[in-house]
Amino acid sequence: MLSFNMTSIVNLIGFTAFMITLYYMLYKPYFEMTDKRRAEIEKNLNEAEKLRIDAQEKKKLSEEELLKVREQRESLIKNAEMEAKKIVESAKEIAEKEKGNIIKKAEMEANEIKEKAMKEMQSKVVSLSIAISGMILKEQLDKQANQKMVQRAIDLFEKRGENL
């Protein structure tokens, strides 16, 4: 059966001292270290969660800003297109006005040339009439001479390249 002698008591005291020593030297530092590690991991996880939330907020803000920039870009493009259309329309109007002015100017020049040609023609007809009447008076011819004179006048016009 069980008997307790001094050796058993010394062994029990040694074993207890050994356990206390192990507790203070190994067990307690081990659990302190694991508690510190657990606290550090929790702290890092909390920081990571905060950073993730912050990153999501920044991403959301970036997306909103990007959307605003896209809207501004579209607005600028539309405004530029409208401005280009206005410029084209303005250029067309100016070209039409210029076209009208050029046509009017050309018509006026044509009328001036026509009037000048008419005056020149009248002047030639008058001078030709005077020349013919002078010939008629000079020669006082009969009908045959008169026909010769008319033929010479016609020949004279043809030589000059003029038509009546």
**Residue pLDDT, tens place only, 52-109:** 999 999 999 999 999 999 999 999 999 999 999 999 999 999 999 999 999 999 999 9
The encoded tokens of residue 17 equal 């001292």
If pLDDT is split at 50, 70 and 90, which confidence band does 24 have? confident
Average pLDDT over residues 38-53: 95
Tokens 């059966």: give the residue: 1
Coil, helix or strand for 142?
coil
Q: Is residue 1 part of a domain?
A: no
Q: Is residue 24 part of a domain?
A: yes
143-149's contacts with Cβ under 8 Å and 24+ in sequence apart are none
Domain count, the chain: 1
Query: Which pLDDT does position 74 carry in this prediction?
Result: 94
| Segments forming the whole domain that contains residue 102 | 6-160
Query: Which pLDDT does position 129 carry in this prediction?
Result: 78
pLDDT at 140 over 80: no
Q: Is residue 41 part of a domain?
A: yes
CA 129 – CA 57 distance, rounded (Å): 106
The encoded tokens of residue 48 equal 């990571």
Identity of the amino acid at 13 = I
Q: Give pTM, 2 decimals.
A: 0.41
Average pLDDT over residues 33-53: 94
- What average pLDDT does the chain have? 86
Q: Is residue 88 part of a domain?
A: yes
CA 159 – CA 59 distance, rounded (Å): 97
Query: Which pLDDT does position 123 carry in this prediction?
Result: 78
Q: Is residue 122 part of a domain?
A: yes
In this structure, what are the phi and psi dihedrals at residue 163, rounded to the nearest 5 degrees? -120, 150
Query: Which pLDDT does position 23 carry in this prediction?
Result: 85
The percent helix, strand, coil of the chain (3-state, each to 5) is 95, 0, 5
Query: Which pLDDT does position 149 carry in this prediction?
Result: 73
Q: Is residue 56 part of a domain?
A: yes
Q: Is residue 40 part of a domain?
A: yes
Q: Which has more pLDDT, 149 or 57?
A: 57
pLDDT at 162 over 60: no
Taking phi over 0 as left and psi of -120 to 50 as alpha, with beta for the rest, 140 belongs to left
